[in-house]
Amino acid sequence: MIISLLRIFFAEWRKLRRPTLLLGTLGAVAFFSVLVSSVLFLMIDSPQGNGDRGMRITREMLALPGGATESFSSIGNLLGIIALCVFAAQTAQEYSLGTLRNLLVRQPGRIRILVGKLASMKVFAMIMTLVSAVLSIGISYALAGRQNVNTELWFNGDGRLDIAQTLLNVFISILGFGIIGMVLGIVLRSPISSISLGVLWLLIIENIVGALRSSTLKWLPGNQLGTIATGGSQSVSYSHALTLSAIYVSVALIIATVLFTKRDVSN
């Protein structure tokens, strides 16, 4: 059982580590990490604000122990969308390319395939998180001195704890987005359809619905996952976001597992 799971994990990893996918994804992660961190510090005195949706994050706020991870935590949504696209494409392509039948002939345990693939993609999400953390915190540190932001508290005990917590929160958030992408891939069986629907929902529909009725922000799945990355927000508490996300992701996983194991592979 463990051996076959490891085989599936490494087989999936061979696909995930291909340079075009790994370097392309990490390139996008790096781009957004550098962009968000740079905007946060370089626009610190801008009247338009330097945070999400025009919010102003002052020098004093950035000098707190959580200052090092301010940009990293706010990038969670963007990293989540990247993860959703990668997980959705990797899963749906098995159907669209017809390669799922090859996998199932070599490993007929369908739940095992699903678990092994998910484990491999988890590692991919972990790498994304780490690269983003290193870049975001590194850029923030480099720019802090230039913008007269005090970094004394960033790496003391509280600062290090905050970094660890944010790392975990962003990872959970990215993984949640990724799993939703994987589920979309299984349900829709087409990379384009699953990525389009996922991105449309997260970037357009949730924003419109949230803007029209702010009370829905407590229930929208993308907002819950984004809130986990930031460790909670004014409208949604961290524990609420975590609980609701766990429910959404579990229900999605159950649906995906039933479909994946029971559906005929006929393409």
Q: Does 239 bind another protein (CB under 8 A)?
A: no
User: Is residue 209 exposed (0-12), middle (13-18) or buried (19+ Cβ within 10 Å)?
Assistant: middle
Q: Does 27 bind another protein (CB under 8 A)?
A: no
Q: Please count the other Cβ atoms lying within 10 Å of the Cβ belonging to residue 262.
A: 8
**Pair 40, 50: CB distance under 8 Å:** yes
Q: Does 3 bind another protein (CB under 8 A)?
A: yes
Q: Which of 23, 27, 58, 106 binds another protein (CB under 8 A)?
A: 106
Compare residues 19 and 157 and give the one whose CB is closer to another protein: 19
- Angle CA(135)–CA(137)–CA(142) in degrees, nearest 5? 90
> To the nearest whole angstrom, how small is the minimum distance from the Cβ of residue 112 to another protein?
9
For residue 254, which phi and psi values (nearest 5 degrees)?
-65, -45
- Angle CA(59)–CA(33)–CA(178) in degrees, nearest 5? 125
Q: What is the rounded distance in angstroms from the CA atom of residue 218 to the CA atom of residue 236? A: 6
> To the nearest whole angstrom, how small is the minimum distance from the Cβ of residue 210 to another protein?
37
Q: How far is CA 181 from the centre of its chain?
A: 10
Q: Which of 38, 107, 151, 193 binds another protein (CB under 8 A)?
A: 107
Q: Does 20 bind another protein (CB under 8 A)?
A: yes
Residue 225, token pair as written in the block? 């996952």
Report the b/e string of 44-74 with b at 16+ CB within 10 A: beeeeebbeeeeebeeeebbebbbbbbbbbb
Q: Which of 8, 78, 85, 252 binds another protein (CB under 8 A)?
A: 8
> To the nearest whole angstrom, how small is the minimum distance from the Cβ of residue 132 to another protein?
24
Q: Does 18 bind another protein (CB under 8 A)?
A: yes
Q: Does 120 bind another protein (CB under 8 A)?
A: no
> To the nearest whole angstrom, how small is the minimum distance from the Cβ of residue 20 to another protein?
6
Compare residues 111 and 255 and give the one whose CB is closer to another protein: 111
Residue 188 DSSP SS3:
helix
- What secondary structure letter does DSSP report for 266? -
Q: Which of 27, 45, 58, 98 binds another protein (CB under 8 A)?
A: 98
Q: What is the rounded distance in angstroms from the CA atom of residue 180 to the CA atom of residue 246? A: 11
Compare residues 142 and 259 and give the one whose CB is closer to another protein: 259
Q: Does 2 bind another protein (CB under 8 A)?
A: no
Q: Which residues bind another protein (CB under 8 A)?
A: 3-4, 7-8, 10-11, 14-15, 18, 20-21, 93, 97-99, 101-109, 264-266
